A and B are shown apart, each in its own frame.
Chain A
């Protein structure tokens, strides 16, 4: 195999794989054994960042971009006139090892277009992972795609070699899926997801009894949804995400602002701006659900089906629920502290530790790292200076926007440009 040919394939198949946003390499517990290569027991590492600011942690490629399906949102769909290529199994193994030895990557993220049949494709993905684990004694991170429609036996085998498995739901609603991916059935996505979930539970139970039970997908499974391709609301997206977190024990749901890749009357035109701010607000909501103890109905409901664009979802929630404030920083419980705008999950434990020594005032909070420009309207602390005036939500919001600089401000704050 010539170097030029490998270079060409890598270009085509990395380009095709980049719309999968997951690049996480954390959460596994695979340690190096018998002086082998690699270790993925620690936290994830981003070895570089692309110019779009995304983490490069894994070698993320497709095995092939030949595909029998014709999903409208996908660059690899069969009706798209693009260059096609396919890696041999050994080529992927060699690339992974040679990149890993140079400390370029944490491991491999292998996906594929579907060729011949789902099972045929899944078998080949598994063959790469198996070779890496058994022949190369590779303990780095492996993320495999679960191919929709793959059989239960193959999904069972895949989890024995992979750290993480994922199947992308892509379109948050079933009606949207029918519109954009008429060849695919919703059940085909769900089946491998369910199988993986059940295997994880079963292997976990067995390991409680027999410690030497092999690991099954120790970093769990994840999925991805495209944002802004069909007319779904933020409520649709987050309720759907909550469903997958709850019913399939997802480690992560990723939200991917739709990047127009084809002219298709069903989709936004090429050149339409990628909804990156909306994507950001969805991730913030996701974090509030997973780490801050919020319920999805508090953040999104029929009265409030879409997230605010100009302020973050926690602030937005607090402004709708002013009756729950102000909170006393020196007394409130952890869950209550976590609900204050401007206080994150790094500050909460620090506040709790520090207030055992003395009552905290504004200066302490500022030094700890609390964003007082937002928090000050919602708290009292050890100081006689606090915002006593009864301000309504609009006034508070106006003051916060006036006194802060948001990284996305230029995208919606047209009134500010008056002064430029």
Chain B
């Protein structure tokens, strides 16, 4: 294929949108779009490193909004799925969006549209799960602290939920897989990165980092969790379907079961 190009961006969503801008502007045949952290040898295509440009990103985003408001959420959510090759899928999706007069986000009989929709749905499900499975522990410095390890990069999506719910307490949710967290200081939410020592993880060993009563509350909660179960209705298949085992180490009520 002639002039097939691979675009490499900095890994940010704005960087991705800038790549889309460049792809449209240069009318190039795009072989792939990927993050600079992934090293790939593009044997048959030339590569171009994209420098993130907020204005260009905004123009693309506004264009999408004008064209099909409902597609925005799908694009952003599907992007956060971090699925292999998601950038190229989204590039094709956005091209389709602009090529059509009608809004195509609801064309569930189109393979690509359905795929983006399903990815967005998975991310949305993970977002909801994290809103449920975050377990705060009160640290000595008066911050409610939680560690999570979500399947997808959902921290940007859950920020608003926690901000409006816990407006009167400082909290920090840290994604140990992606090495960053969101911190609310009673005024605003900021992105932070930390040097986490072992003790912060939600482990069985008690840590001095947390207030003494913290472990009493966990015991009360674990106890409540047991007491509210009806033994004659036991259904462990259903239980693990709702609370998959990979999340157990972050849930104090399930920690002993590991």
Contact surface of A with B, Cβ cutoff 8 Å = 3, 6-7, 10-11, 14-15, 17-19, 31-32, 35-39, 42-43, 45-56, 59-60, 95, 98-99, 101-104, 137, 257, 259, 274, 276, 350-351, 353-358, 360, 364, 367-368
> Besides the contacts A18-B228, A103-B146, what 20 more A-B pairs have beta carbons closer than 8 Å?
A11-B227, A15-B228, A18-B229, A45-B132, A50-B230, A52-B238, A101-B144, A102-B136, A102-B217, A259-B230, A259-B232, A350-B106, A353-B108, A354-B108, A356-B107, A357-B109, A367-B108, A367-B109, A367-B114, A368-B109
Instruction: Report the Cα distance A10→B216, complex, angstroms.
Output: 13
Q: 9 nearest interchain CB pairs?
A: A53-B238, A353-B106, A14-B227, A52-B233, A49-B242, A50-B229, A354-B108, A53-B235, A354-B109
Q: Is B133 an interface residue (CB 8 A)?
A: yes
* A residues less than 8 Å from B238 (CB atoms): 49, 52-53
* B residues less than 8 Å from A32 (CB atoms): 164-165, 167
Instruction: Report the Cα distance A274→B228, complex, angstroms.
Output: 17
Instruction: Report the Cα distance A350→B146, complex, angstroms.
Output: 38
Is the CB–CB distance between A364 and B109 below 8 Å?
A: yes
* A residues less than 8 Å from B233 (CB atoms): 52-54, 257, 259, 274, 276
- Contacting residue for B135 out of A104, A358, A367, CB 8 A: A104
Instruction: Report the Cα distance A3→B213, complex, angstroms.
Output: 10
A-B residue pairs in contact (CB < 8 Å), sample of 12: A11-B223, A14-B224, A14-B227, A36-B167, A37-B167, A38-B165, A48-B243, A51-B229, A101-B166, A102-B138, A104-B221, A354-B109
**How far is the CB of B237 from the nearest CB of chain A, in Å?**
8
Instruction: Report the Cα distance A50→B217, complex, angstroms.
Output: 18
Is the CB–CB distance between B235 and A51 below 8 Å?
A: yes
Interface size counted on chain B using CB atoms at 8 A? 55
> What residue in chain B is nearest A58 (Cβ atoms)?
B228
Is the CB–CB distance between A31 and B229 below 8 Å?
A: no
* A residues less than 8 Å from B230 (CB atoms): 18-19, 50, 52, 54, 259
Is the CB–CB distance between B239 and A52 below 8 Å?
A: yes
Contact surface of B with A, Cβ cutoff 8 Å = 102, 104, 106-111, 114, 128, 131-138, 144, 146, 161, 164-169, 186, 216-217, 219-221, 223-225, 227-239, 241-243, 251, 253-254
Instruction: Report the Cα distance A101→B167, complex, angstroms.
Output: 11
**How far is the CB of A185 from the nearest CB of chain B, in Å?**
29
Instruction: Report the Cα distance A14→B230, complex, angstroms.
Output: 11
**How far is the CB of A186 from the nearest CB of chain B, in Å?**
28
B221, B224, B231: residue with the most chain A Cβ atoms closer than 10 Å: B224
* A residues less than 8 Å from B110 (CB atoms): 357
Is the CB–CB distance between A102 and B144 below 8 Å?
A: yes
* A residues less than 8 Å from B254 (CB atoms): 48
Is the CB–CB distance between B239 and A50 below 8 Å?
A: yes
Instruction: Report the Cα distance A358→B102, complex, angstroms.
Output: 13
Is the CB–CB distance between B235 and A39 below 8 Å?
A: no
B108, B169, B234, B235: residue with the most chain A Cβ atoms closer than 10 Å: B108
Instruction: Report the Cα distance A355→B138, complex, angstroms.
Output: 53
Is the CB–CB distance between A6 and B168 below 8 Å?
A: no
* B residues less than 8 Å from A17 (CB atoms): 228
Is the CB–CB distance between A102 and B135 below 8 Å?
A: yes
- Contacting residue for A98 out of B168, B217, B223, B236, CB 8 A: B217
Is the CB–CB distance between B239 and A37 below 8 Å?
A: no
> What residue in chain B is nearest A21 (Cβ atoms)?
B230
